[in-house]
Chains A and B, each alone.
Chain A
């Protein structure tokens, strides 16, 4: 087609260019709005929870009571107290145990998928791992309450099976898929020439993975773990059902505990809007927001460091 050289076509060309230009600008604007919307939502959410919780923070808030007392009695007739120490201990212990369970599982799976599995096996494995992430958390919670509870009572001969152990196992299984995916990506990002160089020097398969690939992917793997920790801190429904929801600083993995998120979920629905209890729950929300933000930020910085070099 020789459109370029024919005179009458020029105007159309110009027109077309013009329309394309508008479309281009419009799409640009749309993409820009899409791009900053996440930022706007995050800021909006932060402003909202801060606004709701602020009355408590600047009013009757006592820093030492809130963070260092385990007396969470928001509906007491005698004296209401708001101490979240036991809740922090609950969330931390469950997340900690979940990571102890999830790290070996997800790293093992990631190493197998990235380094050993080939063809169909690899595809099936990846799909199965992703399927694990598709189970809703309330189903996990139900499994914890109805199946794991009697099982733990029988196996370990303990009075009750709703405990750090129960919730830790469930949360570990829930966090493993995302950790596996990220860890696998980190392993894939290690250049093949590293492996080839190691093999050329006579290293065995295990030596290649343990001495060369894992150290090279170190940051990415750490990022995967931190994302798993973030997931653990934020999980609500499953821990509400599987921990026993009991205000208690755990002395062993068989003790019942209560998580920060679960407390908000269980109590917010029936508190009067604007009351002290309501504001205290939002203050827990602010604390959680800050904690997960810091964890995700660290994870992000570490992963970013990987891609740089």
Chain B
């Protein structure tokens, strides 16, 4: 008795689902959007908000890293690639060989905050000091080298936390702090900004870096100075977009050729006041002056 009923019900449900998909699909455009893990939360928020403005356009967002997004743009599988770094000349050439002309759009700025454990008495740190901690052959290995003593930190040893070597965050931090030099071997290379925050929160000896948006209440954020002894700047939305914070980078969206049609409308909405307010709410700095 139950079986035929279940069968009918299931097929009715399936038919309805199919009908919905089939009808909805007719006048719906899909924008494929992929790339930077730094941008993925914002991209998701944009996609959701845009759904209300233009219900006919669906934005499919996925992460995977800047490199993944750029590779997808080169292969022609996405409409918009998110990237926390500029495309390399090699990548631009590769894209052009495949018939894509990558166009760069700055959609916001991200400040890389230097994370410290709340117990750490250090308030400010300079770029040369960071180089001594992070650089290959750097001389700082203990917190006492910086003139502080961290309570709860065994031997005052600095536990240096970095990111996996193909993340855009890693590449940008290295460029600002070390130029063309390498990081030291033996840094803990974590997979993702959240893991960095998680580990620094629980490790008194630790120092780490990641986007301002991943700072939690259980973390201390260092004030960064260009030179040792110089005036330091705290990472905030304002200092990131006006360029006074030394470790802030632009965030990009790349399209193949000048964006037209619904992709173009989506991008200009992102650059509009409404779109920029969303990125500010997510903890990043806007590409231009906004009032929210």
Contacts and interface: CB of A to CB of B under 8 A. Distances in A.
B180 A267 contact: no
Interface stretch (A34-42, A115-123, A153-161, A211-219): A153-161
A104 B191 CA distance: 33
A73 to B, nearest CB: 6
B203 A146 contact: no
User: Chain A's interface: helix, strand, loop or mixed, by majority?
Assistant: loop
Contact of B65 (A71, A73, A241, A270): A270
Interface of A: 70-78, 86, 145-146, 149-150, 153, 157-162, 240-241, 244-248, 256, 258, 266-267, 269-273, 277
> Which of A153, A159, A246 neighbours the largest number of chain B CB atoms within 10 Å of its CB?
A159
A160 B190 contact: no
B171 interface: yes
B185 A271 contact: no
Main secondary structure of the interface of B (DSSP, over half): mixed
B189 A266 contact: yes
Nearest to B157: A159
Interface in B202-216: 202-206
B155 A159 contact: yes
A88 B268 CA distance: 50
B185 A70 contact: yes
A160 B65 contact: no
B186 A270 contact: no
A77 B180 contact: yes
A149 B199 contact: yes
Contact of B159 (A70, A74, A78, A160): A160
A145 B195 contact: yes
28 contacts: A71-B185, A75-B165, A75-B171, A76-B182, A146-B198, A153-B202, A153-B204, A157-B154, A159-B153, A160-B188, A160-B203, A160-B205, A160-B206, A162-B199, A240-B191, A244-B188, A246-B189, A266-B189, A266-B191, A267-B166, A269-B64, A269-B67, A270-B66, A270-B167, A272-B67, A272-B71, A272-B91, A273-B71
B265 interface: no
B122 to A, nearest CB: 16
Contacts of A75: 165-166, 170-171
Contact of A245 (B64, B67, B191, B202): B191
Interface of B: 64-68, 71, 91, 153-155, 157, 159, 164-167, 170-171, 174, 180-182, 185-191, 195, 198-199, 202-206
Contacts, number: 97
A270 B167 CA distance: 8
A245 B188 contact: yes
A246 B153 contact: no
Given A240-B191, A247-B185, A271 B67 contact: yes
B169 to A, nearest CB: 12
A77 B189 CA distance: 18
A256 B191 contact: no
Contacts of B167: 270
Contacts of B198: 145-146
A149 B164 contact: no
A273 B77 CA distance: 15
Given A153-B202, A159-B159, A160-B188, A245 B180 contact: no
A135 to B, nearest CB: 20
Nearest to B91: A272
A262 B206 CA distance: 22
Given A245-B189, A266-B164, A266-B191, A150 B202 contact: yes
B64 A74 contact: no
Given A161-B202, A269-B166, 9 more contacts: A77-B174, A78-B182, A159-B157, A159-B159, A246-B189, A258-B189, A267-B165, A267-B166, A269-B67
A248 B185 CA distance: 7
A150 B202 CA distance: 6
A159 B159 CA distance: 7
A159 B65 contact: no
A270 B195 CA distance: 18
A85 B185 CA distance: 13
B166 to A, nearest CB: 4
